[in-house]
Amino acid sequence: MNKYIVGLDIGTTKIACFIGERSQNDKIRILGFGKTESVGVERGVVRNIRDTSDSIRRAVSEASEMAGYDVTEVYVGIAGQHIKSRTNTGSIMIPADHRQIEKSDVEQLIEDQYRVMLEPGEEIIHVFPQSFTVDNDKLETEINPVGVAGKCLMANFHIVTGNAANVRNIRDAVEEAGLKIKGVVLEPIASAYAVLDDRDKNAGVALVDIGGGTTDIAIFQDGIIRHTSVLPLAGNVITNDIRESCKILKHQAESLKTKFGSCVPNLVNQDDIIAIPGIRNQPPREISVKTLAGIIKARMQLILEQVQYEIQLSGYERQLIAGVVLTGGGARLKNIKEFAEVTIGIDSRIGTPDEHLDQQGSITFEDLAHPMYATGIGLVIFGLLESEKQQQDALEEEKASAQAAAPKDADKAPEVEEEDVDMEDKPKSKKKKEKKLDKGTAGKNFADSIKNWLTDKFTEPDLGE
């Protein structure tokens, strides 16, 4: 199994590729990184497969050259306003031969959720169990249903769906770039792996990923993802507002936003003026930093008010002990932390992936410890955890197979040893005859021993009603 994991963040403004591995200190070492302008993507949705494929190819090539590794498989992030979520309840009867609920029973119950009825054109991306009930007795969150005795297992689920055509466009764009998809992950979930830890998720936290085309929300509580949402408003809308208000080009508006933009007009110097070069000998345009902050504030307030509404809609507003974590490219805006606390009414902080990164990597640590790279690095972390889980499952399956075969060897061994002792001092001709007779009876003895072992193993005493 390959130790290198590749994360591919297909965003509205950029496509970024990260190649990473698990370092000796249990952190993530990024070996290769490539970024290019995103072409053919609108609000997180791939519109032009060929253009997007070309952008993917350039980003992957850059990362591959840096790491000295030929990329063939990637974990891909998905977002867009087509993403929806719903809840569902499922149940399964435990087979009669299972005295306790087994891992396979839970896996079967989760697998059944991928066959629930959906609206036409929808596809399931993720299924997250919320709580389990065994024989009408609800289990506490920290109790694993595997090992609990019962005959009926029931669970509540949070299901994330997306438009099947949009999901297929992402797959087609990646495959046209010559790559195979190992997994598709909702972007706020990927970002959570990079900027949150178990303490945040257990305490209760709302992750708000402000990207270029969408603002993605993921709410965790008791270590479980409880609510997801995608808003069709983000950084590009702010850029367009600046462009239209100041009558300038899009790249100039983006530069103004990132270099001089602020969410709070009262915290900037009112006398600062920015001169914007004119087009074709036209005189430069001037705009005050305070006016720029006012434009940004109006749009950011609308975005954060919708975030507040989604948090209230989730029902976990009063359980977010770890507060709100802002990440994504939009989290670079000056004073956004303070503005979010006032608008949403919950303590906030900026989430960066630096605490999960190994500072001894071949890429400058400061270059990657940035909120805009949370999704890409989170995809690498997700892929590493999936790879390690598959290895662990393979070891457990191998161990279980060995244990299942052990009784057969134990029953067979005494017969061979006893046979050798009986024939030790017998004449050669008689020995051959007795060996032949023993082979004739060995099969019957072995079958009887297995039958007796199975009877003892699976037959319970009659204890009455």
Predicted pLDDT of residue 422: 47
Amino acid letter, residue 294: G
The H or E element spanning position 85 is strand 84-93
Cα atoms in the 13 Å half-sphere on the side-chain side of 228: 31
Amino acid letter, residue 276: I
Question: Which residues fall within 8 angstroms of residue 356, CB to CB, at 6 or more apart?
Answer: 27, 28, 193, 194, 377, 381
The H or E element spanning position 75 is strand 73-78
**List of the chain residues with pLDDT < 50:** 410, 416-447, 449-451, 453-465
Residue 158 lies in a domain: yes
DSSP bridge partners of 210: 215
pTM of the model: 0.82
Residue 220 lies in a domain: no
Mark which of 144, 162, 180 sits at the end of a domain: 162
Residue 116 lies in a domain: yes
Q: What is the CATH number of the domain that holds 140?
A: 3.30.1490.110
Residue 95 lies in a domain: yes
Predicted pLDDT of residue 421: 43
Q: Which two tokens stand for residue 455?
A: 């009877």
Residues 143 and 251: their CA atoms lie apart, in Å, by 53
Predicted pLDDT of residue 26: 85
Residue 373 lies in a domain: no
Query: Total domain count for the chain?
Result: 2
For 126, other C-beta atoms within 10 Å of its C-beta total: 18
Mark which of 162, 182, 198 sits at the end of a domain: 162
Cβ-contact 121, 165 below 8 angstroms: yes
Residue 451: domain span = 401-456
Residue 104 lies in a domain: yes
Residue 100 lies in a domain: yes
316 SS3 class: coil
| CB neighbour burial string for 405-417, b if at least 16 within 10 angstroms, e if fewer | eeeeeebeeeeee
Smallest Cα–Cα separation from 81: which of 12, 29, 130? 12
Mark which of 162, 188, 219 sits at the end of a domain: 162
| Dihedral, 292, 298, 304, 309 alpha carbons, nearest 10 | 180
Residue 363 lies in a domain: no
Predicted pLDDT of residue 432: 41
Radius of gyration of the chain (CA): 30
Predicted pLDDT of residue 396: 79
